[in-house]
Amino acid sequence: MSTGEFDLIERIRTRIAARADVVLGIGDDAALLQPPPGLQLAITADTLNAGVHFPQDTTAADIGWKSLAVNLSDLAAMGAQPAWCTLSLSLPGSDAGWIDAFLDGFLALAQPHGIALVGGDTTRGPLSIAVTAMGWVEPGRALRRDGAQAGDDIWVTGTIGDAAAALATLDACDAALRSRLDRPTPRVRAGLALAGLAHACVDVSDGLLADLGHVCARSGVGAEIDIDALPASPMLLAFAPAHRRVFQASGGDDYELCFTAPAQRRDEVLRACADVETPVARVGRIVVGEGIHVMDGAGRPWQPVRMGYDHFRED
């Protein structure tokens, strides 16, 4: 069904519930929002382009889920409480059915996280979705990239490598593995539980070594990683045992958290993650120096083929 721009926006508007902190939502020239007193605003933006950030055959509902998930993941990595978001859509045509399905996926994730859609933009062009997400954090408690200290443990939530395995095998992979690529779980509750406890945090979007590399560079430290300690799903172990290490070290799109915390606070980290039902694994430590040194379980050096995904690098 073909529909005009304003009908599409109306379709979106009617599905958004009113709430007290959104004084004026979709429908005016700008939204009016009521920030809670004393808190800092965390704000992040991520764009998803067809064929780059999701395979062309991805369903509208999965695109809706993922476009919000990647932004919630950035709020999680800051230890922020999600509050508001905007949605800018570039669509090749005006398809009401596509919008409805997109919103099904988007709102399925927005509702449990209490994030309200407050505005956006709708234009014609190649399929592209840009979300801006805003959240709250208490002053001094945000999980930044520049706080890692030598001696910290390095931790990873959930399992990593599944999304890269799914991307590498698109047509051949089964539905459960594919859903790890299409419907990542943003670790919002873990991020909140770790605020004030972890020294540094990043979400794994471009690949563990690349993303941890940002933490090391910003913190002025190095890292040692045990490649065999990286948490792998039974699916990954069964499906791609030969490529497991590469997918886990350098594959992107998992949206797990990688964080560092003082070794003396190991028990607190385990308890904080258990409280929010988030599996967590210790995978290495922060050291004096620079760069990431990867070893296998026997202590032998392991050389990655590449660190992670870079939009502007050709290899």
Which entry of ligand ADP, Mg ion, none binds 26, CB below 5 to 8 A by partner kind? ligand ADP
Question: Distance between CA 189 and CA 81 in Å, rounded?
Answer: 9
- Are 203 and 42 contacting, i.e. CB atoms less than 8 angstroms apart? no
Which entry of ligand ADP, Mg ion, none binds 72, CB below 5 to 8 A by partner kind? none
- Are 8 and 96 contacting, i.e. CB atoms less than 8 angstroms apart? yes
Binding segment toward ligand ADP, per CB under 6 A, in 24-32, 53-61, 105-113, 229-237: 24-32
- If one asks whether residue 14 binds ligand ADP (CB under 6 A), the answer comes out as no
What angle (nearest 5°) sits at the alpha carbon of residue 166, between those of residues 310 and 191? 65
**Binding footprint of ligand ADP, residue count (CB under 6 A):** 13
- If one asks whether residue 60 binds ligand ADP (CB under 6 A), the answer comes out as no
Q: Identify the three-state secondary structure at position 142.
A: coil
- Are 289 and 107 contacting, i.e. CB atoms less than 8 angstroms apart? no
Query: Which pair of tokens denotes residue 311?
Result: 């939009």
Binds ligand ADP (CB under 6 A): choice among 22, 80, 83, 89:
89
- If one asks whether residue 267 binds ligand ADP (CB under 6 A), the answer comes out as no
Q: Identify the three-state secondary structure at position 124.
A: strand
- If one asks whether residue 64 binds ligand ADP (CB under 6 A), the answer comes out as no
User: Given the complex with ligand ADP, which of 22 and 198 has the nearer CB atom?
Assistant: 22
Q: Write down the least CB distance from residue 25 to ligand ADP, Å.
A: 7
Residues 118-157 that bind ligand ADP (CB under 6 A): 119-122
What angle (nearest 5°) sits at the alpha carbon of residue 79, between those of residues 106 and 189? 60
Question: Distance between CA 164 and CA 182 in Å, rounded?
Answer: 11
Partners of 155 in beta bridges: 259, 282
Q: Write down the least CB distance from residue 9 to Mg ion, Å.
A: 9
Question: Distance between CA 226 and CA 229 in Å, rounded?
Answer: 5
Residue 246 CB neighbours (<10 A): 19
Q: Write down the least CB distance from residue 23 to ligand ADP, Å.
A: 13
- If one asks whether residue 28 binds ligand ADP (CB under 6 A), the answer comes out as yes
Compute the half-sphere exposure of residue 120: CA atoms within 13 Å on the CB side of its CA. 26
- If one asks whether residue 40 binds ligand ADP (CB under 6 A), the answer comes out as no
User: Given the complex with Mg ion, which of 67 and 260 has the nearer CB atom?
Assistant: 67
- Are 45 and 132 contacting, i.e. CB atoms less than 8 angstroms apart? yes
User: Given the complex with Mg ion, which of 20 and 30 has the nearer CB atom?
Assistant: 30
Q: Write down the least CB distance from residue 182 to ligand ADP, Å.
A: 21
Binding segment toward ligand ADP, per CB under 6 A, in 116-124, 180-188, 255-263, 280-288: 116-124
The contact set with ligand ADP (CB under 6 A) reads 9, 12, 26-29, 87, 89, 117, 119-122
